Amino acid sequence: NLKIELPVRSLSNVYFDEKNGLIQMGDKTSQRYYLNVAHTKKFMQTLLVAAECKKIMDQKVTTSIRDLYYALKRTIPQTKENTFEDQSESDPIIEDVEAMLNTLREKLHLKADRKGYMAGKVVLHDSGDRINCSKMGSSGWAIPSDVEEEVIKFDDVKADYVLVVEKDAVWQRLNEDKFWKKQKCIIITGKGQPARGARRLVNRLHKEFHLPVYVLADADVWGYYIYSVIKQGSINLSFLSDRLGTPDAKYVGLTTQDVPKFGIPQNVTIKLNKGD
């Protein structure tokens, strides 16, 4: 009875490492058995993803996680079952393979869509092309999903700190006003919840150039959550916290305590809902 052993990526196998200030994954593992009816489909999906990654690595090409899903989706012969129903099934399997092999999906030649922008006095090489992030116009440099040293090499960084901005609209205003030039900083936005590429980029700038990191987010639970993910990592990607988390990051901006402290009118506040 063939089996695949995987790290458990649920809350039951996650803990907060107070020494490092990061959410970390524990040592628990689980098994997927080929001959267990409850496991068979995920067993098949895991092998399909692993085999496709092996194929594109052998071909020395890359593909997106979206294209991987389309490449693997098909109806199993003589059944009405599909290998994958939608991408929400294939993405977690990719993460399982990452965790199982203790690697990044980019090392498996997989990438996600670009999400987030950066502006500032940073000169870098992106796959060999020289990019000056202070001369990218109103849009800034679009952050790719793979910002590892093999792909993104920093040539010159002239900044006193990194400012991570939750809202794209706020980032656009700061970029338009050349805030990064006046304040000698780097401004980054993840356009809401930052993708892995943006978080890894912040992590690298902090570690490699010892730049302080500040997070400007909304004064609500989602703003605080985004800050916490940048600072200490996430439960879902706890196996990557050392690469994605920046424990020294500090929160800047309005807090809920500031509402009564500064007499902010109640008519500009928004009540919490059940999701909050």
d(CA 183, CA 59): 46
C-beta atoms surrounding 4 within 10 Å: 18
- Is position 70 annotated as part of the catalytic site? yes
- Distances in Å between the alpha carbon of 224 and those of 48, 129, 169? 37, 36, 18
In 3D space, the residue among 111, 145, 117 whose CA is nearest the CA of residue 131 turns out to be 117
In 3D space, the residue among 91, 105, 113 whose CA is nearest the CA of residue 57 turns out to be 105
In 3D space, the residue among 41, 103, 118 whose CA is nearest the CA of residue 239 turns out to be 103
Catalytic residue chosen out of the listed positions 34, 70, 214, 227: 70
d(CA 5, CA 26): 14
Do 235 and 229 touch, CB atoms closer than 8 A?
no
In 3D space, the residue among 198, 175, 236 whose CA is nearest the CA of residue 115 turns out to be 198
For the record, the structure tokens of 182 come out as: 């006046």
- Active site residue ranges: 70
